[in-house]
Amino acid sequence: MTTTATTLKGQPLDRGVLDGLLRRRMFYTPSFDIYEGVKGLYDYGPPGCGLQANIIDVWRKHFVLEEDMLEVDCSVLTPYEVLKTSGHVDKFADWMCKDPKNGEILRADHFVEDVLEARLKGDKEARGQKAEEKEKDAKRKKKQKAAEAVKLDDAVVQEYEEVLARIDNYNGDELGELIKKYDLKNPATGVEPEPPVAFNLMFQTKIGPSGQLSGFLRPETAQGQFVNFAKLLEYNQQTMPFASASIGRSYRNEISPRSGLLRVREFLMAEIEHFVDPQSGKKHPRFHEMENIELVLLDRHTQSAGSTKVKTMTVGQAVKERVVDNETLGYFLARIHLFLKKIGVDQKKIRFRQHMANEMAHYACDCWDAELLTSYGWIECVGCADRSAYDLSVHAKRTGAPLLVRERREEPLVIEEWQVDIQKKKFGPLFKKDGKTVETALLDTSQEQREALAKELGETGNLTLDVAGVGDGKVQISKDLVQIERRTRVEHTREYTPNVIEPSFGIGRILYALLEHCYWTRAHDGGDEARSVLSLPPTVAPTKVLIVPLSANKAFDPFTKDISLKLRKAGISCKVDDSSATIGKRYSRNDELATPMGITIDFQTVQDKTITLRDRDSTRQVRADEDKVIEAIRSLVEGDKAWADIENELPIFEGQEVVVTEAKS
Ligand SMILES: Nc1ncnc2c1ncn2[C@@H]1O[C@H](COP(=O)(O)OP(=O)(O)OP(=O)(O)O)[C@@H](O)[C@H]1O
């Protein structure tokens, strides 16, 4: 599999040109630009908004509708307690280090990555690269102030490559050791940064005027879904499994936002929480529908051997061989793959990478990322984590809310167990303020512990319990305060905390990767430089149809109005370009805006009411009457047909291909 970014037509991608296009055509632009902007904040312009809305629309149909998910829209402002309980206050952090000379704050893993990569590039150069690669590196180096062309030992190259393959897995101490071991210096100052410290990524705020209620802007939409679990289960008539879904903005105070939309501080997420009975073996009722979907997988074992060699296998095979842990996880990996395919992501540039054990978020027990290949390398765009019962359990424990499922057992369950009876009337007065803590510690004991305590109680008339925070941590309880006996209990209802499989989509990252995948340049017969085209599929393209009257002749006006009205009524976005620019220029401008179809109104339209329909990618045209063309457009937008089908159904228009004869806009 190739690891360099190329355009749709296999040309090397010139990111500078694409970036220029995306800003010029206002797909997105830095926020607050006239105030010099803030790193990691972007505004989307009209085509960016259109594309984002269409991606979300496909997402909602593909997941929420198709899978009957329960959609919720929860508050962004989240009280401190919720995120303290979920573990985000203590653990949602990245490692940063400070340059003691200029005070620059660096994200520790990115710093190590950048310096090692620059050294490897320097090594390549020293070993003698092709002239054009050298030139490219020279340009890059100018920007990055990176390493010189120094040849490294083969063993060192291998070591660096192994570190880079595992760069997401190091903790702060380990990153600090790498900085020391490889003598890594900030290229801007030539100085070694201070040891890494944890930096919490959440934006903290005060809710209300008193300033007493502390809160955060949510870093993910998931917690809103978890805290509503009991109500959602009720809404779903107590039926399991089910999934909730949410689309909304999340906020992370990234240490060093970079790479355009790929690492920002405010971004749109679309998240699914699929609740499943852990005793079902995490089976999925629709797994058979996905069994034969082929995925490209990079598993944990391969990575720990320092390799990035992928395996291509069906989801069925992957689950059978336990490469992927369970059916539900496998089902969602396949569904994610199909979604990415539907919106136009290049199939050769998708892989699923399993997290290493020490790379996973604090709540996860297994995790696979859908990574897309871009000019920035492989980028995580969708995380698919098995969060086990972590979140529901911690919220239930903290609040006492019943975030669990109660199911009537077909066969009652007879259980032999050690039970604890506490004499509460005597307990309170004896332990006073510590009464509740001692009681909880006693009730939290395992069956094994209870058996041992019962033995101790029988033999000595007392038991000794470990209770942190009470006295010296050891509490004596006599047999007139507590009894521990082995008894039989019959259970008619089963209670369990569901496990959660969570596919989590970063829409901005997907959108940017998709734009890279759909970008190419068309050679221009006029001898001019190549012209840019964004071949987004009609389903997600921001504007579907460009309408161009041949000239400013008034005779075309009624046709222009009529067609645009009909398209709008059919819910198809269109744009009229009746500017004085040549038709070629007008089409070319809209190829950059990804508009997949173009209608031309000319003198023949006035005579026989036929119009031409142009395909952006091939520039080929058909000619037919208005209604047939509009129906063809509808079927292309819905994804029911491809352009080849339209050419089979409607007469080809062999008129002059205007694009190639015009000067560049
Ligand atoms: N700073 C960000 N900017 C844009 N998108 C983001 C950002 N952080 C996360 N995402 C998106 O949200 C998705 C789910 O978030 P998750 O918490 O799994 O990311 P993450 O593992 O923290 O990402 P990373 O390791 O790249 O910081 C990611 O797959 C990504 O698409």
Q: Residue 153 Cα, ligand 1 centroid: separation in angstroms?
A: 35
Q: Are residues 225 and 323 in the same domain?
A: yes
Host H or E run for residue 106:
strand 105-107
49 closest CA partner among 593, 517, 652, 643? 593
Highest mean pLDDT among 466-470, 578-582, 590-594: 590-594
- Tokens 């036929």 map to which residue? 610
pLDDT at 138: 55
pLDDT at 496: 96
pLDDT at 1: 43
Q: What angle do CA 108, 112, 115 make, to 5 degrees?
A: 135
Residue 542: is the preceding peptide bond cis (ω within 30°)? no
2, pLDDT greater than 80: no
Burial of 448 (0-12, 13-18, 19+ CB in 10 A): exposed
CA atoms within 13 A on the CB side of 297: 28
Ligand 1 contacts CB of residue 115 (under 6 A): no
663, pLDDT greater than 50: no
Q: Residue 484 Cα, ligand 1 centroid: separation in angstroms?
A: 50
657, pLDDT greater than 50: no
Ligand 1 contacts CB of residue 264 (under 6 A): yes
- Inter-residue contact 490 to 473 (CB < 8 Å): no
Taking the C-alpha atoms of residue 88 and residue 78, their distance in angstroms, rounded to an integer, is: 12
pLDDT at 58: 97
The string of DSSP codes covering 229-268 is HHHHHHHTTT-SSEEEEEEEEEE---SS-BTGGGB-SEEE
* Structure tokens, 478: 């006599």
664 closest CA partner among 586, 578, 580, 577? 586
The torsion angles phi and psi of 311, rounded to 5 degrees, stand at -115, 140
pLDDT tens figures, 151-190: 888 889 889 988 888 888 899 999 999 999 999 999 999 9
Q: Could you tell me what percent of the chain has a pLDDT over 70?
A: 94
Q: 156, 173, 200: which is the final residue of a domain? A: 200
The Cα-based distances of 420 to 297, 441, 442, 444 in angstroms read 50, 11, 8, 10
pLDDT tens figures, 473-489: 999 999 999 999 999 99
Q: Which domain holds residue 109?
A: 94-200
* Structure tokens, 111: 């710093």
528, pLDDT greater than 80: no
Q: How many domains does the chain have?
A: 4
511 closest CA partner among 35, 37, 6, 58? 58
Q: Give residue 365's pLDDT band: very low, low, confident or very high (50, 70, 90).
A: confident
Which residue's CA is the closest to the ligand 1 atom numbered 16? 383
Residue 41, domain member (yes or no): no
Q: Residue 262 Cα, ligand 1 centroid: separation in angstroms?
A: 8
pLDDT at 303: 86
Mean pLDDT of 102-120: 93
pLDDT tens figures, 81-100: 999 999 999 999 999 999 99
Q: Give residue 523's pLDDT band: very low, low, confident or very high (50, 70, 90).
A: confident
Q: Give residue 424's pLDDT band: very low, low, confident or very high (50, 70, 90).
A: confident
Q: In what order do the strands lie in the sheet with 610-615?
A: 574-576, 545-549, 597-601, 610-615, 621-625, 652-653
Q: Are residues 627 and 593 in the same domain?
A: yes
Residue 62 is classified by DSSP as I
Residue 364, domain member (yes or no): yes
Handedness of CA 476, 480, 482, 487 (dihedral sign): positive
Ligand 1 contacts CB of residue 252 (under 6 A): yes
Q: In 3-state terms, what secondary structure has residue 114?
A: helix
Q: Are residues 488 and 502 in the same domain?
A: no
Highest mean pLDDT among 7-11, 217-221, 305-309, 443-447: 217-221
Q: Which residues pair with 499 in a beta bridge?
A: 276
Mean pLDDT of 447-453: 95
Q: Residue 385 CA: which ligand 1 atom is closest?
A: 18
Q: Are residues 305 and 165 in the same domain?
A: no
* Structure tokens, 567: 């398209």
Residue 447: other Cβ atoms inside 10 A = 11
CA atoms within 13 A on the CB side of 114: 18
- What CATH code is carried by the domain that includes residue 158? 3.30.40.230
Q: Are residues 379 and 280 in the same domain?
A: yes
Residue 64, domain member (yes or no): yes
Higher pLDDT, 517 or 281: 517
665, pLDDT greater than 60: no
Taking the C-alpha atoms of residue 220 and residue 647, their distance in angstroms, rounded to an integer, is: 46
Number of H helices, E strands in the chain: 24, 29
* Structure tokens, 166: 């595992």
Q: Residue 298 Cα, ligand 1 centroid: separation in angstroms?
A: 19
Pocket test for ligand 1, best of 200, 265, 267 (most atoms within 8 A of CB): 267
Host H or E run for residue 413:
strand 405-422
Taking the C-alpha atoms of residue 292 and residue 373, their distance in angstroms, rounded to an integer, is: 24
Q: Residue 183 Cα, ligand 1 centroid: separation in angstroms?
A: 30
Residue 61 is classified by DSSP as I
Q: Give residue 133's pLDDT band: very low, low, confident or very high (50, 70, 90).
A: low
Q: Give residue 141's pLDDT band: very low, low, confident or very high (50, 70, 90).
A: low
Higher pLDDT, 529 or 637: 637
Q: Residue 252 Cα, ligand 1 centroid: separation in angstroms?
A: 9
Q: Residue 582 Cα, ligand 1 centroid: separation in angstroms?
A: 44
Taking the C-alpha atoms of residue 54 and residue 537, their distance in angstroms, rounded to an integer, is: 11
Residue 45, domain member (yes or no): no
pLDDT tens figures, 199-243: 999 999 999 999 899 999 999 999 999 999 999 999 999 999 999
- What CATH code is carried by the domain that includes residue 551? 3.40.50.800
pTM score, two decimals?
0.86
553 closest CA partner among 600, 603, 598, 599? 603
Residue 278: other Cβ atoms inside 10 A = 13
Q: Which residues pair with 370 in a beta bridge?
A: 352, 382
Q: Are residues 563 and 651 in the same domain?
A: yes
47 closest CA partner among 595, 611, 601, 648? 595
The torsion angles phi and psi of 79, rounded to 5 degrees, stand at -60, 150
Q: Residue 210 Cα, ligand 1 centroid: separation in angstroms?
A: 33
Q: Are residues 370 and 225 in the same domain?
A: yes
Q: Residue 263 Cα, ligand 1 centroid: separation in angstroms?
A: 8
Which residue's CA is the closest to the ligand 1 atom numbered 1? 263
Higher pLDDT, 437 or 545: 545
pLDDT at 659: 40
Q: Are residues 506 and 463 in the same domain?
A: no
Ligand 1 contacts CB of residue 269 (under 6 A): yes
Q: What angle do CA 642, 644, 650 make, to 5 degrees?
A: 105
* Structure tokens, 486: 């082995």
The torsion angles phi and psi of 212, rounded to 5 degrees, stand at -90, -25
Higher pLDDT, 630 or 361: 630
132, pLDDT greater than 80: no
Q: 479, 514, 549: which is the final residue of a domain? A: 514
Which residue's CA is the closest to the ligand 1 atom numbered 7? 263
Q: Residue 257 CA: which ligand 1 atom is closest?
A: 1
Taking the C-alpha atoms of residue 264 and residue 254, their distance in angstroms, rounded to an integer, is: 7
Q: 200, 233, 261: which is the final residue of a domain? A: 200
Taking the C-alpha atoms of residue 550 and residue 557, their distance in angstroms, rounded to an integer, is: 11
Ligand 1 contacts CB of residue 335 (under 6 A): no
Host H or E run for residue 420:
strand 405-422
Ligand 1 contacts CB of residue 40 (under 6 A): no
Q: Residue 250 Cα, ligand 1 centroid: separation in angstroms?
A: 10
Higher pLDDT, 365 or 556: 556
pLDDT at 654: 82
Q: Buried (b) or exposed (e) across 523-538, using 16+ Cβ within 10 A? A: ebeeeeeebbbbbbbb
Mean pLDDT score of the chain: 91
pLDDT at 214: 95
Q: Are residues 537 and 506 in the same domain?
A: no
Taking the C-alpha atoms of residue 265 and residue 215, their distance in angstroms, rounded to an integer, is: 17
pLDDT at 167: 86
- What CATH code is carried by the domain that includes residue 247? 3.30.930.10
pLDDT tens figures, 270-304: 999 999 999 988 899 999 999 999 999 999 988 88
Q: Residue 370 CA: which ligand 1 atom is closest?
A: 29
- Strands 204-207 and 93-98 come out as unpaired
Residue 140, domain member (yes or no): yes
- Tell me the residue type at 564: S
Q: Are residues 284 and 398 in the same domain?
A: yes
- Inter-residue contact 40 to 254 (CB < 8 Å): yes
pLDDT at 6: 84
- Inter-residue contact 583 to 556 (CB < 8 Å): no
Residue 89, domain member (yes or no): no
Which residue's CA is the closest to the ligand 1 atom numbered 19? 383
Residue 330, domain member (yes or no): yes
Residues in the chain, total: 665
- What CATH code is carried by the domain that includes residue 440? 3.30.720.200
pLDDT at 44: 98
The Cα-based distances of 106 to 102, 182, 186, 195, 262 in angstroms read 11, 17, 9, 11, 17
Q: Buried (b) or exposed (e) across 109-129, using 16+ Cβ within 10 A? A: bbbbbbbbbbbbbbbbbeeee
The radius of gyration of the chain from alpha carbons, rounded to an integer in Å, stands at: 31
Residue 532, domain member (yes or no): yes
3 closest CA partner among 407, 250, 361, 296? 296
Q: Are residues 238 and 385 in the same domain?
A: yes
516, pLDDT greater than 80: yes
Query: Poorest-confidence range of 131-135, 311-315, 379-383?
Result: 131-135
Taking the C-alpha atoms of residue 471 and residue 459, their distance in angstroms, rounded to an integer, is: 24
364, pLDDT greater than 80: no
Taking the C-alpha atoms of residue 599 and residue 613, their distance in angstroms, rounded to an integer, is: 5
Which residue's CA is the closest to the ligand 1 atom numbered 30? 506
521, pLDDT greater than 80: yes
Q: Are residues 505 and 371 in the same domain?
A: yes
Burial of 198 (0-12, 13-18, 19+ CB in 10 A): middle
Ligand 1 contacts CB of residue 616 (under 6 A): no
